[in-house]
Amino acid sequence: MTPASVISIDIGSTFTKGALFSLAPTRPSVIRRAACPTTPDNLTRGFSRVLAMLCELPADTPLHDIRPAAPVRISSSAKGGLAIAAIGLVPDLTLQLARLAAMSAGGKVVKSFAYTLTESDIAGLEHARPDIVLFCGGTDGGNTAYVIENAARLAASRFDGPIIYAGNRAAADRVAEILRPRPLTIVSNLMPEINVLNLEPVREKIREIFLQAIVAGKGLSEIVRRFETGVRPTPLGVYELMEAIPRVRPDWDNLCAVDLGGATTDFYSNTDSFGETDSVVLKGIREPRLKRTVEGDLGLRISAAALGESAADYFAGPLNEAGLREYVARLIEEPGHIAVTDCERNMDDIMAEACVYHAARRHAGSFRETYTPQGRVHIQTGKDLRRVRRVIGSGGYLASCKDNGIMRRAFRRLSETGPEVVLAPEDPVFYADADGLFPLLGNLAAIEPEVAVALALENLKPLEQEKTPC
């Protein structure tokens, strides 16, 4: 039976936010919202405060004294979220799919390795200490030599966390034998054949491992024990919400969302990846209809220094270089800093635009025109986003946009054509997740998709055209 209401709480890296939702099928609504700063030393404290406020209790009520009347759904991206190392065989094939699968499961790819793992690769892996290693390589019945060799090298390493094997099934038994007694799970191959994608079993397993093994290390065990509920990686919920939106509301198909944060920029798309025509030849892997990418070098605060390097093109022009460097240095010292002066706000705007631009550019495919003896041909690589009609801005900064200026400028810049055309959305309508409900509704998307979608769309704020000064 569907409960009448549900509490959803998301423990973010900076803020812990929650809401109490009414699930009345005719008119679902947000009954109450609450937020407080995340308490990284003990995540339970911030969580309890938010839960208490949602239950209309004093904020300092101890967790064991709170008896919520509604079921509680929890997600977390605190303590660095879900860090995954991806191992594949060929960089453009199994490694790329491993990365895609990891990101679609709500993870952040902290290391990627192709071919045989070298000693320095292993050292890098041990140093990065990912939460999960996703280990792939070979189509089914294809190459076994690399994965068997890599299994031996993993077995000899000091990495002792969970490993998911999603490579050539012909080598699976051997891999299991070599890696015993490590915490290894074997799922079906994520690339059983060239150009065939099978990401779902990997995603499902990552989610399961996050629930069972990782929450403890993230300081969430007390919460899990208290509520006998799982904790999901925040981006996984948003991914599921993005999946549910066109399913529940087909008129909202062809959709993108950008979640711009202090440390990362996430980009989601739900649209067909390739429209086959005679004059377009698709190269590289066939990308999935629903896709998430996450960029660890694009962010407004913790990643500000990395952004300065990755988006150097952006900073060269409109900003005084020295001023920006000073600002970035300050942001790294003080990730909680909120822009005060007009100049700082301006810098934040430009940084935000740079994040959106580069995240979209990496997420989207491209094509170039080429002339062959048989005439003109377009070669497409990656995903075609040109059918996308709507783009949603989420995360603190984009959620609070007053108009579509930042996102529109970033997307317009994408469509400035060079020899290579970026397959970005053409003139989409922009929305803001103004109340920050996406992560919270993401927690409901898998169980109550209709309600989650209705509430998500109802609370989106259409962004008006930016007023250009005359």
Are the C-beta atoms of residues 459 and 400 closer than 8 Å to each other? no
Nearer to other proteins, 145 or 156 (CB): 145
The beta-strand segments (E) located in 296-365 are none
CA nearest 70: which of 134, 144, 3, 137?
3
Nearer to other proteins, 62 or 141 (CB): 141
Burial class, 223, CB count within 10 angstroms (exposed 0-12 / middle 13-18 / buried 19+): buried
Tokens read off for 446: 């898998």
CB of 245 to other proteins, least distance (A): 33
CB of 275 to other proteins, least distance (A): 16
Nearer to other proteins, 44 or 94 (CB): 94
Nearer to other proteins, 108 or 169 (CB): 169
Tokens read off for 423: 């397959």
CB of 417 to other proteins, least distance (A): 21
Nearer to other proteins, 279 or 468 (CB): 279
Residues in contact with other proteins by the rule CB under 8 A: 89-90, 92-94, 137-139, 141-145, 191, 193-194, 281, 283, 370, 372-374, 377, 379
Cα separation, 288 vs 100, in Å, equals: 9
Cis peptide before 181 (omega within 30 of 0): yes
What's the angle, vertex CA 446, arms to CA 445 and CA 448, rounded to 5? 65
Helix H or strand E segment including 6: strand 5-11
CB of 193 to other proteins, least distance (A): 7
DSSP annotation of 401 reads -
Nearer to other proteins, 93 or 101 (CB): 93
What's the angle, vertex CA 229, arms to CA 436 and CA 132, rounded to 5? 80
What's the angle, vertex CA 433, arms to CA 430 and CA 434, rounded to 5? 110
CB of 377 to other proteins, least distance (A): 6
User: Is the C-alpha dihedral spanning 335, 459, 48, 447 positive or negative?
Assistant: negative
Cα separation, 405 vs 168, in Å, equals: 47
CB of 92 to other proteins, least distance (A): 6
CB of 194 to other proteins, least distance (A): 5
CA nearest 395: which of 453, 357, 352?
352
Cα separation, 137 vs 192, in Å, equals: 10
Nearer to other proteins, 66 or 379 (CB): 379
Nearer to other proteins, 70 or 97 (CB): 97
- Give Cα separations from 428 to 22, 121, 171, 267, 409 (angstroms): 32, 42, 46, 15, 12
The beta-strand segments (E) located in 276-346 are 280-283, 290-295
Nearer to other proteins, 29 or 198 (CB): 198
Max Cα-Cα span within the chain: 77
Nearer to other proteins, 6 or 147 (CB): 147
Nearer to other proteins, 275 or 323 (CB): 275
CB of 159 to other proteins, least distance (A): 24
CB of 300 to other proteins, least distance (A): 37
CB of 379 to other proteins, least distance (A): 7
Are the C-beta atoms of residues 411 and 206 closer than 8 Å to each other? no
Tokens read off for 383: 């995903």
CB of 384 to other proteins, least distance (A): 17
Nearer to other proteins, 191 or 304 (CB): 191
Are the C-beta atoms of residues 275 and 367 closer than 8 Å to each other? no
CB of 386 to other proteins, least distance (A): 21
Cα separation, 18 vs 33, in Å, equals: 6
Tokens read off for 103: 């990101």
Helix H or strand E segment including 84: strand 82-87
